[in-house]
Amino acid sequence: MEKLSFSLSLGIATIMALSCGCQTKPATPASQPSITQPDIETSPEVRYVIPSEYQRLYQEISEKLDTFHKYLNIHSNGTENEITFAAELLPANGHQDEKLLTEENYRGTLIYLDALQSLGVQGVKIAISYPLLAPDFPNSEGYLEYYKDVAQELRKRNMKILVTIGNLFPDPSFTDLQISFSNLTFAEYRQTKRQIAERIIREIHPDYLTLANEPSTEAMTTGLEVTVPEFTETVRYILNGLNRSGVLIGAGAGTWNNLDYVKSLARDTDIDYIDIHIYPANYLEPALTIADIALANNKRLIIGEAWTYKVYDSELGDLSNMATQADMFGRDVYSFWEPLDSKFLEILTKLANYKGYEFISPFWSKYFFGYLDYETVPKNYTYKQLAQFSNQKAVQNIMNHKFTGTGLKYQELINAAAR
């Protein structure tokens, strides 16, 4: 869900930069993580009290995770695969809009990178939202310079880079940019996406570049009818004659999307890899089938986004708007979810080992650093208020060198894979 996330009145990166008194962009950014020996913010052994209003949901998600976990334990036979353990670089998400252009945001991005690296994270996913890098988009050159600087810093740290070209969400819950895709045609959309892909390859040169994902979200944001043939044709159009310059090129879908999207991409395009997004726990099983489809067509596999989307089965409804349900994202902020989020990370790692996913990137990486205790949060807070409050908690812990049990679980999984 290339969503969104940090479209707040003050982004997490800016908060971090101001918290440490940073005001100017350094000429030579530090290339080594500065955060070491983290403390434990919350112990994995804590017995959380689940609020009554969430007990049924907690049990429903827990049972789904347990069922899939048991399946992996039975069938994987201890299979191991070389995995890049990555995380979403949230301060660089395109929905930060013009805040990306500030010196404070750049400083905050580096601090966030330090925190991720101190966990052992080996790569990041960066959502460069369409149409930020379109040549005629306002401040396009400024956005490009920011992302080039971030990529240069990542290379200094020997971290893998996945860039994805999702779409900006026009909803003001997710961005302050005034943008509309009304009257957009496939011809214009494809041409502009091709231009953006060329700029990213030439100027940023990531290890992986995902051209398109989540077709249902693409349809919802653009108003276009994104059928399987149209989605595949968009990818084919961008690929035609594209100078890849050593960059791996991919595309994919959410696990809630029709499998025909992945089948067509794997069979009818010359992408290098299939990139899947896993939300929610109800849609873990398709990751198994998608892997089989990809491998049968000699495609590599990555998981570009994943998290334990906190929804009841009865709330799934129209899957086309799954990525934009802000009120449901607000549920993620609470600390009592920590055991389930930790369990999900363990499942994600076992899935990657079993089916050969070479790169995994949990989306809500800020929960590696901080959650909110349910009883301390006003019940009338909007999603924006909850996100701002939880950002502040994450920043506070980052500056104090603290991780949550979820962050420590990810560190444990990374360290175990290295042995």
pLDDT tens track for 398-412:
999 999 999 999 999
Rounded to the nearest 5 degrees, what angle is found at the Cα of 319, between the Cα atoms of 317 and 323?
Answer: 120
User: For all residues of the chain together, what is the average pLDDT?
Assistant: 89
What pLDDT, in 10s, does the model give residues 318-368? 655 555 567 788 999 999 999 999 999 999 999 999 999 999 999 999 999
Please, are residues 235 and 211 in contact by the beta-carbon 8 Å criterion?
yes
Q: Look at residue 1 and tell me if it is in a domain.
A: no
Q: Quick one: residue 45, left, alpha or beta (phi over 0 = left, psi -120 to 50 = alpha)?
A: alpha
- CATH code at 298? 3.20.20.80
Residues 6+ apart with CB under 8 A from 12: 6, 90, 91, 108, 112, 366, 391, 394, 395
In this predicted structure, the answer to whether residue 63 has a pLDDT above a threshold of 80 is yes
Q: Look at residue 354 and tell me if it is in a domain.
A: yes
- Write down the pLDDT at residue 44: 46
Count: domains in the chain: 1
Average pLDDT over residues 179-203: 95
Q: Measuring CA to CA, how many Å separate 231 from each of 1, 120, 269? A: 17, 36, 11
What pLDDT, in 10s, does the model give residues 69-123? 999 999 998 878 999 999 999 999 998 878 899 999 999 999 999 999 999 999 9
- Write down the pLDDT at residue 288: 98
Per-residue confidence band for 241, with pLDDT thresholds at 50, 70 and 90: very high
Tell me which H or E stretch contains 399. Answer: helix 383-399
Average pLDDT over residues 131-144: 96
Question: CA-to-CA distance for 340 and 349, rounded, in angstroms?
Answer: 14
- Write down the pLDDT at residue 35: 39
Per-residue confidence band for 61, with pLDDT thresholds at 50, 70 and 90: very high
* pTM of the predicted model as reported, rounded to 2 decimal places: 0.91
Please, are residues 193 and 168 in contact by the beta-carbon 8 Å criterion?
no
Q: Look at residue 73 and tell me if it is in a domain.
A: yes
Nearest in space to 15 (alpha carbons), one of 398, 417, 406:
398
What pLDDT, in 10s, does the model give residues 250-276? 999 999 999 999 999 999 999 999 999
Q: Look at residue 6 and tell me if it is in a domain.
A: no
- Write down the pLDDT at residue 17: 56
The pair of three-digit structure tokens given for residue 7, joined into one six-digit string: 């479209």
Nearest in space to 299 (alpha carbons), one of 377, 235, 366:
235
- Greatest distance between any 2 Cα atoms in the chain: 57
Provide the 10 A C-beta neighbour count for residue 320. 17
Q: Which domain holds residue 26?
A: 12-418
Q: Look at residue 104 and tell me if it is in a domain.
A: yes
Per-residue confidence band for 174, with pLDDT thresholds at 50, 70 and 90: low
Q: Look at residue 4 and tell me if it is in a domain.
A: no
- Write down the pLDDT at residue 329: 84
Please, are residues 311 and 328 in contact by the beta-carbon 8 Å criterion?
yes
